[in-house]
Structure 1
Amino acid sequence: MTSEVGRIVHARAPGKINVFLGVGSLGDDGFHEIATAYQAVSLYEDVRATDAPDFSVSFTGSVDTSALRTDGSNLAIRAAALLARTTGYRRGVRLEIEKNVPVAGGMGGGSADAAATLLACDALWGTELGREDLLELAATLGADVPFTFMGGTAVGTGHGDQLSPALAKGQFQWVLALADFGLSTPKVYRELDLHRERHALDIFPAEDLPTVDANVLQALRAGDPHMLAESLFNDLQAPALHLEPRLAKVIELGEENGALAGVVSGSGPTIAFLAADLDSALELQIALSAARYTVVRVTGPVHGARILSD
Structure 2
Amino acid sequence: MTILVTGATGTVGSQVVQQLVQRGADVRALVRDPAKARQAGLPAGVELAKGDLLDVDSLRSAFKGVSTLFLLNAVTPDEFTQALVALNLAREAGIERIVYLSVIHSDLYVNVPHFAGKFGVERMIERMGFNATILRPAYFIGNDLTVKDVVLGHGVYPMPIGSKGLAMVDTRDIAEIAAIELIRREQSAAPLPLERINLVGPDTLSGADVAAIWSEALQRPVVYGGDDVEGFERNLRNFMPGWMAYDMRLMAERFLSDGMRPETGDLERLVTMLGRPLHSYRDFAASVVASA
TM-score, length-scaled by structure 2: 0.26
Compare relative contact order (CA 8 Å, sep 6+) and give the higher one, 1 or 2: 1
Give 1 or 2: higher helix fraction: 2
TM-score by length of 1: 0.25
Greater strand proportion: 1
